[in-house]
Structure 1
């Protein structure tokens, strides 16, 4: 009996050690499987990020190619036609001025047409430049606004830029949209409002970024608000489409655009963008 009990005890001991060994091996295999799963998940994430970057690069390349194509067409066709029209107007103006009498009055009106043609050519050249240089050099938004105020304007508009608060980095697309809004507002002030001075103020608040563009031109805010309402409702002629595009750009990031009288005497355009800046898809989803 003692021998049998000893044999059973030895057998149980062997089974216990075997079970312990198997359990340890199973734990090792389980840990190895978990490590492999984590490595696989990390590699899948890296692959997804690489694919996203590749897709984004391909999309940007396609957009750049299309912008360059449009810029070439504008330069080779539209700009040349505008220059030819300006030269024709100038020749006719000079001939009418030489005739004197009533023809001189017509020559004066043609001088205005010549100036409008010159502004159109400058606007085309600015658009061509923007199409060829879609990406602004790296830098904070206040620096880009300073650069915009002295580089991209078609007329000698005196522009000052003021920044209040601590600058907060925005989404790249949001900063580009703010730059486009500012450029459009300054161009409208110089071209349509005949302004000589403009003030760009960028304020960083705890919950929003506020951009205001004021000028001393002859624009009427009530007229612009009325034109904006008509343009957004049904603008078959394309006039004042720029204002509607500016409103759409502000709303793209959950913001709003308002127009009122400036203390300088002209137009004050204000854009409020809430912080944190949402992606365009999020703002669009909220608008549905």
Structure 2
């Protein structure tokens, strides 16, 4: 029996050890129980503290938290071995599947270096066994649950002096369930990442397919354009051959007959002597013109019989062909400015014919040696100009055009009126100016985009021309006009 407390000062109660410590001093076992309880509480606090530090390290993923859980459980149980593992079939995408802490405190996820009894315990967890027999050592087993079902276990080979108390098991359950939540979150995150990668892959495949379809569509459109052009070229070549036959069989024969008649008249004029001098000069001029006409017809017939390239489809290419027909008599240059704007086939041919008529006038009447064909594209206008170094007069050509407008179909030459008619039908107009080369410049201006006319075209009446997908491209409107005004 312990001695009673020493008497204190009068009027004051003696200090009561049981009141101060909560442990009765009459039995020494109470104090030892207090010490053990305090130690367990301190271990639980340290375990919760380590878990709280691991929870805020989100960038490390679930492994950092799981390692802290395993170490905290090992420290709380004073365990030589601690295992945190998932059962097979649960959280298939979660990693790592297990962690083990050995006597040296090293965390491992490789079961090759585990002791045999630890491997047996790990096998039981993987197989889904909640408990094992107690004849293989002081194992402490706590289930790891998620949504009411066991998905694994937290086990430890403890080194405590006595069996763990319910408070110790509560701490272990908290650690195990925290690990279960972390692993589930990791699995969901990995599943989300996998879905994102799959969606990205599908998006990339869809984008690639869209590009491939766009490319194939473009190729199909080009093939369709080539087929239309080939059809047009076939029809045009047929018409060219027909016109060549007509020129050879009729017009050329008439011109040759006219030349022969002129030659006969020249013989009769020579018999008149001095009185027929004037008539003889005029007949000589007529003979020369007949010979020039026959030569022009022969070149035209030869050109019409030549096979043309299938790729001739734009106005610049047509103008190069027109210029090629006149190069035996003229030094012709073709210059193109700005971005080429696709026009309808009828418009291209009408402009090319107008330019060809202008070059014919230059070669026949202007006594020129050089001509320049300029094609300039702008946003709102197309300019086609023919300039020469001949002896023509812009004022005289304007007067002749006014006269040709009023003539009836009397068989006389209407070249200027034909040029104007072709351009006016396209919504434009022509004007004559003095050229820098010294001769005349015929300017043909057509507004862009073209407006459809009621007059059916020769080509569009034969085949359906690819329509109105014109580009709105234009040249530089700030470029200085190289032609003098």
TM-score, normalization by structure 1: 0.63
Paired position in structure 1 for 2:330: 157
Paired position in structure 2 for 1:237: 410
Within 5 Å, which residues of 2 pair with 1:169-248?
A: 169-248=342-421
Q: Is the 8 A contact 2:361 2:415 kept in 1?
A: no
Q: CA deviation at 1:188?
A: 0.2
Paired position in structure 2 for 1:144: 318
Q: CA deviation at 1:216?
A: 1.4
Gaps of at least 5 residues in structure 1 are: 1-56, 284-288
Q: CA deviation at 1:261?
A: 2.0
C-alpha spacing 1:155/1:91, structure 2 compared with 1 (3 Å) = farther
Q: Is the 8 A contact 1:126 1:153 kept in 2?
A: no
Q: Is the 8 A contact 1:93 1:107 kept in 2?
A: yes
Q: CA deviation at 1:116?
A: 0.3
3-state SS of 2:372 partner: strand
C-alpha spacing 1:130/1:258, structure 2 compared with 1 (3 Å) = farther
Aligned: 1:260 with 2:433? yes
Q: CA deviation at 1:84?
A: 3.6
In structure 1, C-alpha distance between the alignment counterparts of 2:346 and 2:309, rounded to whole Å: 11
Q: Is the 8 A contact 2:354 2:418 kept in 1?
A: no
Q: Highest CA radius of gyration, 1 or 2?
A: 2
Q: CA deviation at 1:270?
A: 0.6
Paired position in structure 1 for 2:81: none
Which has the higher mean CA deviation after the structures are superposed, 183-192 or 160-169?
160-169
Q: CA deviation at 1:180?
A: 0.5
C-alpha spacing 1:112/1:155, structure 2 compared with 1 (3 Å) = farther
Aligned: 1:122 with 2:295? yes
C-alpha spacing 1:160/1:94, structure 2 compared with 1 (3 Å) = farther
Q: Is the 8 A contact 1:161 1:201 kept in 2?
A: yes
In the alignment of these two chains, the number of paired residues is 227
C-alpha spacing 1:133/1:196, structure 2 compared with 1 (3 Å) = same
Match of 2:252 among 56, 69, 79: 79
C-alpha spacing 1:242/1:168, structure 2 compared with 1 (3 Å) = same
In structure 1, C-alpha distance between the alignment counterparts of 2:302 and 2:450, rounded to whole Å: 28
Q: CA deviation at 1:122?
A: 3.1
Q: CA deviation at 1:233?
A: 2.8
Q: CA deviation at 1:100?
A: 9.8
Q: Is the 8 A contact 1:255 1:273 kept in 2?
A: yes
Q: Is the 8 A contact 2:386 2:443 kept in 1?
A: yes
Q: CA deviation at 1:264?
A: 1.8
Aligned: 1:278 with 2:451? yes
C-alpha spacing 1:156/1:129, structure 2 compared with 1 (3 Å) = same
Higher percent of residues as helix:
1
In structure 2, C-alpha distance between the alignment counterparts of 1:112 and 1:225, rounded to whole Å: 26
3-state SS of 1:280 partner: coil
Structure number with greater CO (CA < 8 Å, separation at least 6) is 1
In structure 2, C-alpha distance between the alignment counterparts of 1:252 and 1:119, rounded to whole Å: 31
Q: CA deviation at 1:112?
A: 2.7
